[in-house]
Amino acid sequence: MAKVQDDDAIYDEVNVVPMLDLAYVLIIVFILMATAQVAGIELDLPKASNRQTLEASQTQAISVAASGEVYLNGAPITVADLTEEMRARFAEDPETPVVIRGDTAAAYGKVMEVLDVLKGVGITKIGLPAEKPAG
């Protein structure tokens, strides 16, 4: 016999069947998705044959300090030695990229002297990074 309760009566039973149905559906979806990820398709992807690696082309960083001192990759160097060093590195790799960083208080002529050295050596990949002024 079925129990009949009033509308104002307190429910003393919890129907767990809908919660179990939802749990079973989630388990089935999880199992299907897990097996679909394991069974992938074998692909033979093409390999790049003439790609330059980062190790093959190292960017050279030249810094000009406010005092006028020149640094190559963090080591102090004179302009004459910079010419010889860059000529040797350019001979190894003609595509050598160079970044020139000049202090805001550095003399414009010193930065132009470094640019003339690079131009004389034949380096064409030159970057002059600039930061956005704080404002």
For residue 44, being part of any structural domain is answered with no
Q: What angle do CA 125, 130, 133 make, to 5 degrees?
A: 170
Within a domain: residue 20? no
pLDDT tens per residue, range 77-130: 888 888 888 888 888 877 878 888 887 777 778 888 888 888 888 887 887 776
pLDDT band at 11 (very low <50, low <70, confident <90, very high): confident
DSSP 122: T
Q: What is the per-residue pLDDT across 21-73, written as a single tens digit (0 to 9) for each?
A: 999 999 999 988 887 766 556 767 677 666 555 454 578 888 888 888 888 88
Q: For 49-61, how does the pLDDT look when each residue is reduced to its tens digit (9 = 90+)?
A: 665 554 545 788 8
Q: Write down the pLDDT at residue 82.
A: 86
Assess if residue 108 is contained within a domain. yes
Q: Is residue 87 part of a domain?
A: yes
Question: What pLDDT does 119 receive?
Answer: 86
How many structural domains compose the chain? 1
Nearest-angstrom CA–CA distance, 86 and 96: 9
Flag whether 39 is in a domain: no
| Bridge partner list, 61 | 99
**Is residue 10 assigned to a domain?**
no
Domain presence at residue 22: no
Q: Is residue 3 part of a domain?
A: no
The pTM (predicted TM-score) of the whole model is: 0.53
**Stretch (H or E) spanning 70:** strand 70-72
DSSP 8-state secondary structure symbol assigned to residue 6: -
What pLDDT does 62 receive? 85
CATH of the domain at 69: 3.30.420.270
Q: How far apart are CA 89 and CA 63, in angstroms?
A: 17
**The domain containing residue 67 runs over which residues?**
60-127
